[in-house]
Each structure stands twice: as C-alpha cells, then as structure tokens.
Amino acid sequence: MVRIALDAMGGDNAPQSVIEGADLAKARSPHLDIVFVGDEALIRPLLDSSRYLRQAEILHTDKAVFPTETASQAVRRGRESSMWLAIAEVAGKRADAVVSAGNTGALMAMAKLQLRTMPGITRPAIAGFFPTEKNAMCMLDLGANLECDEENLVQFALMGRAFYVSLMDKANPSVGLLNVGEEEQKGHEYLRLAAQQLSHPELDVNYVGFVEGSDLVRGEVDIIVTDGFSGNIALKTAEGVAGLFAKMLRRSFKGSVMAGLGYLLARPALKKFRTKMDPRRYNGAVFLGLNGIAVKSHGGTDALGFSNAIDVASNLVEHGFIPDVSAAIEKAGAIREQKKIVNE
Amino acid sequence: MVRIALDAMGGDNAPQSVIEGADLAKARSPHLDIVFVGDEALIRPLLDSSRYLRQAEILHTDKAVFPTETASQAVRRGRESSMWLAIAEVAGKRADAVVSAGNTGALMAMAKLQLRTMPGITRPAIAGFFPTEKNAMCMLDLGANLECDEENLVQFALMGRAFYVSLMDKANPSVGLLNVGEEEQKGHEYLRLAAQQLSHPELDVNYVGFVEGSDLVRGEVDIIVTDGFSGNIALKTAEGVAGLFAKMLRRSFKGSVMAGLGYLLARPALKKFRTKMDPRRYNGAVFLGLNGIAVKSHGGTDALGFSNAIDVASNLVEHGFIPDVSAAIEKAGAIREQKKIVNE
C-alpha cells in the first residue's frame, strides 16, 4: 500500500474535485490508501457518494490556508490548517506523500519547514512535466529560486534526472540548460560554469548543451534546467500562448455556419491533438530536494487533473525517488570533494 | 523623402527577399528613397525586374557578414561588409535608417560602434511588437542585456514608450514589468526598485505594475519591460509554442479525409486567425538607445515580412523617434538629479 495525505481544502473546486480526483485515482490504483485532511462535515457526504472511498479516513480540521495569503502569513497563522496537517502526516512518517491544490507559496514554505531540505542539497526546486511535439519534457526550477548559481543548477539537473526516471520509462534522459543561444560562449557566467560541471564524465549526466526557449516544445531534450525566474516566465508564457491559440481556434470555428460544419467534420482529428496537449494530463508539480514527497496540483484543475497529481505522488513513492535523489547528490558531493583535494 | 539603407546581403533569402520586400514597401510609400548595399552583380538584375526600384541606388561591396560569425569576429573582419557599410550610411547622415536581416549579434555590435549610444542612456535595448488577443504589444529587452539594474529597466520603459507612440495610434500606452507574480513584494530587488521609480508621478509613465508570462498574450498591457535574458526566453518560448500549435493543427486537418473537408469549410474563418497571428506582420525589431535607427528583420522572413521591417524604420524616422527618446531620457535624468539634491 502507498499512503497519500490529501489537503482536501486546497484548490478552486475543493473539496469536491479533490475527492472526485482521489476516487478516479483509487479506481486505477486500488493499492492507494488515502487520508483526507480537512472539514469532515464537507468531506464525509462526498465520500459517502464516492465509488471507492466510502471507508477512507478523514483527519478533521476546520482551518484552511487562503489562496491570497503570503507564504509567511500562512506559516504564522496556519499551523492547524488542512495544508499544514497533511504535510505533517508525511513529516511524521504516517503517510508516504502529500498532494495539495492550494496556495503554492504556502505549500512550499510549509513543506520546507516540516520536511526539511535533504542533506547536501543547497536549494529545493519545483519541477513539472509539459507536453511537446514528441515526448513529455521535464522543466525545473519553475519558481522556487529566483537567483541560482552553478551548484544549484547542477543539483537541479541531478534531481530532475531522478524525477524523470521515476515517472518515465527511459533510463538515461538528456539534460539541457536554458539559455539565450546554443553557442558555448553565450549567457550568464554561472550557466557556463554549470555546463562545464555537467559535462564532467564522472557525473554521468547525459548533458546535451544549451537550449533556447524555442526548444521547450520540440521534445528533443528530456530535462530542461533553469533558474526559477526564467523557468516561471517560460512556463507562464507557454501556458498563455497555448491558451490564446485554443481560444482563437474555438472562436474561428464559431464564427460562421460553414466553419461550424467544418469543425464537426474535423472534430475527431482535433480531439487527438487536444488530448495530447491537455494540461490536466501533466498536472502535478513536485518540490524536489526535501525529505519527503510533496506534490502541487494546479489550483483550477478538475477531478481528472487532480487524479494525475495523485499518480505523480504514488509513482515517486513506488520508484524510490527519495533514495535515488539522495544517492545522486551524495555521489556529486564526493566527486566535488575529490576534485578539491586533487586541485589543492 | 525618407532615405533607408538596406543590407542587401543579410538574411536567409538575400538578396531576393530584400529587394522584393523593398519593392512592396516602395509601392505602399512612394516617398521612400532606398539605397541597397551589397553585391551589384546580384542586386542589379533583381532591381531591373522590380516594379518601382529600377532607378534605385546600389552601394557595391562583395563582402558580407556570415550568419555563424560571433559579433567580435564580424566586427574585426567585416569593415567592408554590406552590413557595416549600410550602418555607415546612417552614421554619416547619408541615410535616415538602416534595415538588415543578417546576424543579430553582429548588427548590434556594428550599430553600437558606428551610431554610438545616446547621451544619458546606460544600455541600448532591442524592442519588438507581438500579436496578442487584443492590440499588438511591445516588449523589450529581447536579448541585448542579459543582466539589468533598475536604472536600465526605467530607461527601457521610457525608450519603449517613445517607440510605441511612434508606431501606434495611442497617446499614453501602459507599461508593465515582467515578473513571477503580480504582488508588490515578488521578484528580484531591482524589479521592486524599478517599480518604485516608474510609479513616480513626475516621470509621467502609465505604469500598471508587475505582469507575468501569461500576460504577454492578453494584450492588456501595451509595453512589457524585462531584462534581455528573460525577454529572449519569453520571446522564443512564445514563438515555439505558436509554431507547434500551427504545425499540429495542420497535421490534424491532414489526418483524415473528413478532417480535410472540415478544413476546407473552416478555411475562411481560420485564415482571419492566421492573418492576425502572422509573424511577418510584426517583423522588425529595433535597437533603441543609439544615435540612429537600426532595424533588425527576422533572418528567415520573406518579402512581405521584410517590407514590414522597412515600414517600421520609415515610421520611426517620420515620427521623430530619436528626438522623442532623447527628450524623455533628458527629463528622467533631470528628475533624478533633482531628487538627489532634495535628498542631500
């Protein structure tokens, strides 16, 4: 059994989408043991009408983190909130992972406080998967660290690789560094230093060089590493452009009777395209570098999207993601120490 | 008359797309006086078969900047290149503006060397227009300055505003700073300082606050200011996602006979959408902050795209862009001096 603690009160459609999402996940993976943290009066009736969760446990609290709170407000005020208590289940080893669709900043701050940063990690990072022309691509950091140095980026690459391998059926994924050009002399100094370190054969990273913003959707590189400022801007820009295209396409088809008829004929073909790009399929960003698995679901997602975030959490548990990251960071640390000794 | 010097040898389809583009621009604006800089043996036959450029002047050189050269290689080697000599026309006041579809780094370096930075400007920047859901949006810096401080960003805002007003029929365009969240406490320190300065009433900037990557396509903000690293990544990410959508849409329509028929019916409606988003309509990025107008055309564009870059150049000349920027920077400098005196 894999035990997952869910913040039942986080997200725009909580607790309904949380419970319906958990029901979908449980239907696919009967070995999931789910504990709901939140307001029992709201959760119980939804569990009663669920298919697979009538026996599920509830950890009651009537407090929740607000979507508009800053991280520090939430940490000060929210020690009895559903978010804090759900994370506490993982910190207390009573659950294997936590999933929340609530306030991102609060979740990051509370997870860092309770789960603590893994030994050897300088900065935790947020990672997620995204659709591309080919296979899904993993990008990190998505916004946890606005400023990064070469050591942070190298650690992001190692954590990203363990994350990728846990969720995808590919042994040696490729890693690229996001930059403003592919040439070696381009970009910030810390990017060139990170590139040098990632190229080191002993580190055993399949490093393929600098990539550009246009490479995000090509799917030629499996893991794209960047600082949290650029990563957040790239992510939101991509979401914005994709949303605008989808909206204008819908508008075009609705613009005339002929176009509407054309849409009906093309619908099956367009549906395949839409399914491939459906953001719900990629829902579930993960805070990497903590002593425990914390997954952030998109706040506005529905049951299907939330169920995918639960899958991300349970797959990471089953694939031993935490020991994998720990081993990779330890190895990188040993290589660095060795080099220092050689250089002295 | 507005006199424009064209680097006839820059770009993937040079000199053909340059001359055909100039022919289109001349058809629209008979007051353009165009001088082609490049290989006369290649240019002359194309001019002879043009509609409006049979009398146009050629400044002959058989040297050109290579697309793969670094900026410093180009500057060392390329003093007789078509790019250098086209810029020299503006520097020597024999032309009002220069347009090139060649190597961006080389064009920036050569333009800076010959035109020199405007008094009071700390760093020149690259600006361009982009399609959104509503009106076109102007973004800068697109990659000239990887690291920026608050003073650079404030100057980018002032230059961007003069650029916007020169090309668009709107008196008081809104300005936003690209960040990872809209809340005032978010992001880098220099962003918060730039926000403070831009909010100052004496500066008379219609500053609307922080914007995110997702705001790039909304069209709610006219001018988006950012450092060159983030700007370049946002730009290329947006281009990549838009390209992927267009490609997958084409593929969907070609996937079955029914879908193909659907496309035929919806084609007029889809065409409107495609026209609105056509990158050729937005072609022509400008190096702002130099003592002269230098416009960079996309290297892969066709005649229509190149003609738009020429329009950008001639509109900037006609609207007195250079004196406008100069006045705005002088005013901002005076306000800063005054404050220093008051604070002392």
Question: Do both A153 and A255 map to the same domain?
Answer: yes
Q: What's the structural domain count of chain B?
A: 1
Residues of B in contact with A234 (CB under 8 A): 213, 233-234, 237
Interface touch B263/A264, C-beta < 8 Å: no
d(CA B63, CA B65): 7
Which one of B132, B232, B245 has the shortest CB-CB distance to A213? Answer: B232
Interface touch B213/A235, C-beta < 8 Å: yes
Question: Do both A315 and A339 map to the same domain?
Answer: yes
User: Which of B142, B225, B229, B258 to mutate to test binding with chain A, by most A CBs within 10 Å of its CB?
Assistant: B229
Question: Do both A139 and A270 map to the same domain?
Answer: yes
Question: Do both A228 and A314 map to the same domain?
Answer: no
Question: Do both A204 and A319 map to the same domain?
Answer: no
Interface touch A214/B236, C-beta < 8 Å: yes
Question: Do both A304 and A275 map to the same domain?
Answer: no
User: Which of B69, B134, B233, B278 to mutate to test binding with chain A, by most A CBs within 10 Å of its CB?
Assistant: B233
Interface touch B215/A240, C-beta < 8 Å: yes
Could you report the predicted ipTM of this complex, rounded to two decimals?
0.91
Spatial contact of A126 and A297, defined as CB atoms under 8 Å apart = no
Question: Do both A257 and A302 map to the same domain?
Answer: no
Nearest residue of B to residue A248, measured between CA atoms: B273
Tokens of B16: 């053909």
- Per-residue pLDDT in tens (0 to 9) along chain B, 344 residues: 999 999 999 999 999 999 999 999 999 999 999 999 999 999 999 999 999 999 999 999 999 999 989 999 999 999 999 999 999 999 999 999 999 999 999 999 999 999 999 999 999 999 999 999 888 999 999 999 999 999 999 999 999 999 999 999 898 999 999 999 877 777 889 999 999 999 998 888 999 999 999 999 999 999 999 999 999 999 999 999 999 988 888 888 888 888 888 888 888 888 888 888 888 989 999 999 999 999 999 999 999 999 999 999 999 999 999 998 998 888 888 887 777 666 65
Q: Which of A138, A137, A141, A149 is nearest to A192 (CA)?
A: A149
Question: Do both A155 and A273 map to the same domain?
Answer: yes
Predicted pLDDT of residue B265: 87
Interface touch A256/B267, C-beta < 8 Å: no
Interface touch B214/A240, C-beta < 8 Å: yes
Interface touch B218/A233, C-beta < 8 Å: no
d(CA B199, CA A332): 46
Domain with A228, as residue range(s), is: 126-281
d(CA A205, CA A195): 11
Question: Do both A314 and A335 map to the same domain?
Answer: yes
Question: Do both A313 and A336 map to the same domain?
Answer: yes
Burial track B248-283 (b if 16+ CB lie within 10 A, e otherwise): bbeebbebeeebeebbebbeebbeebeeebebbebb
Q: Which of A302, A311, A325, A323 is nearest to A97 (CA)?
A: A311
Question: Do both A149 and A110 map to the same domain?
Answer: no
Whether residue B277 is contained in a domain is answered as no
For the stretch A25-55, pLDDT in tens is 999 999 999 999 999 999 999 999 999 999 9
Question: Do both A227 and A135 map to the same domain?
Answer: yes
Torsion over CA: A253, A254, A258, A262 (sign): positive
Query: How far off is chain B from A271, nearest CA to CA, in Å?
Result: 9
* pLDDT-based confidence at residue A184 (cuts at 50, 70, 90): confident
CA distances from A23 to A90, A294, A302, A306, B216 (A): 21, 20, 12, 10, 37
Q: Which of A112-121, A320-329, B231-240 has the lowest mean pLDDT?
A: A320-329
Interface touch B269/A252, C-beta < 8 Å: yes
DSSP state of A117: B
Which one of B213, B242, B276 has the shortest CB-CB distance to A233? Answer: B213
CATH number, domain at A107? 3.40.718.10
Whether residue B222 is contained in a domain is answered as no
Which one of A226, A265, A277 has the shortest CB-CB distance to B262? Answer: A265
For the stretch A119-148, pLDDT in tens is 999 999 999 999 998 889 999 999 999 999
d(CA B204, CA B201): 5
Tokens of A220: 């030629």
Average pLDDT of the segment spanning A3-9:
98
